[in-house]
């Protein structure tokens, strides 16, 4: 791919918005993947190259959430066990199989998340002092994290909504702490997926790294906004992003 000034600017701007959206809600890859393919990358290479930006934005996001004391460090290992197991499986499937059948799963999951926020907001709007569960105390959340890992390892786009459903809805985290742990999960399975894509030579480094420049900046700013925002504001931002993801996915 030839990197012109306009291509550089497009990747940076797209990465910025995707990084911000991913850090507070999810669905940023619904922006970046079409742009990478529009610039001429095959779908599988776009999928692999996008992981460079996602991994680096997650590093920035995790550092920011931890700095602001919103990351539950003790919960990381138990939550990562099912997520990474699924991530390894999903990444291998992505490298070996065509991207089939996952669009209905994505849209169905996001639509369910949207309806929950609208109809039963209390199911994901737990107050900050709520005692969270562990995956061993909620089998549905354990399997939810496992499935999210598979999906995230496979295609990434929209996985944040699946992780928030398991972390906020299943394990009773408030949305701020759920977003912090979601970012850790995404960092973990994205790192695994990137390693698999590199092994199968499915990464175009130049656009991936340029995209990452914008994504890291967006993530850094989004964390600062998220830790100061009210739970209600985060909930409605999440609702708007889920609704946008459903509409965008239906039209694509």
Q: What would the pLDDT profile of 135-167 be if each residue is shown by its tens digit?
A: 888 898 999 999 888 888 877 767 787 888 889
The pTM assigned to this predicted structure is: 0.79
**Mean pLDDT confidence for 62-84:** 92
Residue 246 has pLDDT above 90, yes or no: no
Distance CA 242, CA 211 (A): 23
Q: Confirm if 173 and 132 have CB atoms less than 8 A apart.
A: yes
Supply the pLDDT for residue 16.
Answer: 94
Distance CA 4, CA 12 (A): 12
Distance CA 181, CA 112 (A): 21
Supply the pLDDT for residue 87.
Answer: 87
**Mean pLDDT confidence for 98-105:** 56
Distance CA 225, CA 238 (A): 14
Distance CA 126, CA 13 (A): 33
CA neighbours within 13 Å on the CB side: how many for 184?
24
Residues 6+ apart with CB under 8 A from 7: 1, 39, 207
Supply the pLDDT for residue 162.
Answer: 81
Q: Count of domains in the chain?
A: 1
Q: Identify the DSSP state of 4.
A: -
Residues 6+ apart with CB under 8 A from 235: 117, 121, 124, 125, 175
Residue 224 has pLDDT above 80, yes or no: yes
Supply the pLDDT for residue 38.
Answer: 86
Supply the pLDDT for residue 128.
Answer: 67
User: Is the pLDDT higher at 238 or at 172?
Assistant: 172
Supply the pLDDT for residue 127.
Answer: 63
Q: Confirm if 60 and 219 have CB atoms less than 8 A apart.
A: yes
Boundaries of domain holding 62:
5-251
Smallest Cα–Cα separation from 117: which of 84, 161, 147? 161
**Residue written as tokens 């910025």?**
16
Q: Identify the DSSP state of 246.
A: H
Residue 9 has pLDDT above 80, yes or no: yes
Distance CA 138, CA 130 (A): 15
């Amino acid at each position: 791919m030839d990197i012109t000034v306009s291509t550089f600017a497009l990747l940076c701007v797209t990465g910025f918005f995707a990084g911000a959206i991913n850090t507070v809600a999810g669905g940023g890859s619904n922006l970046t993947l079409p742009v990478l393919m529009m610039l001429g990358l095959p779908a599988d290479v776009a999928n692999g190259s996008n992981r460079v930006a996602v991994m680096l934005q997650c590093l920035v996001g995790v550092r920011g959430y931890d700095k602001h004391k919103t990351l539950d460090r003790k919960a990381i290992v138990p939550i990562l066990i099912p997520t990474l197991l699924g991530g390894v499986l999903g990444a291998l499937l992505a490298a070996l199989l065509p991207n089939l059948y996952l669009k209905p799963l994505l849209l169905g999951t996001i639509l369910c998340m949207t309806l929950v926020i609208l109809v039963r907001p209390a199911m994901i709007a737990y107050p900050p002092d709520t005692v969270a569960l562990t995956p061993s105390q909620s089998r549905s959340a354990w399997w939810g994290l496992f499935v999210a890992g598979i999906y995230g390892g496979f295609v990434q786009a929209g996985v944040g909504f699946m992780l928030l459903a398991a972390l906020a809805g299943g394990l009773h985290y408030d949305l701020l702490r759920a977003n912090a742990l979601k970012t850790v999960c995404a960092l973990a399975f994205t790192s695994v997926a990137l390693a698999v894509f590199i092994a199968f030579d499915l990464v175009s480094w130049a656009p991936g790294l340029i995209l990452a420049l914008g994504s890291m900046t967006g993530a850094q700013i989004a964390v600062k906004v998220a830790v100061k925002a009210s739970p209600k504001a985060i909930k409605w931002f999440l609702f708007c992003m889920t609704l946008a993801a459903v509409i965008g996915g239906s039209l694509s």
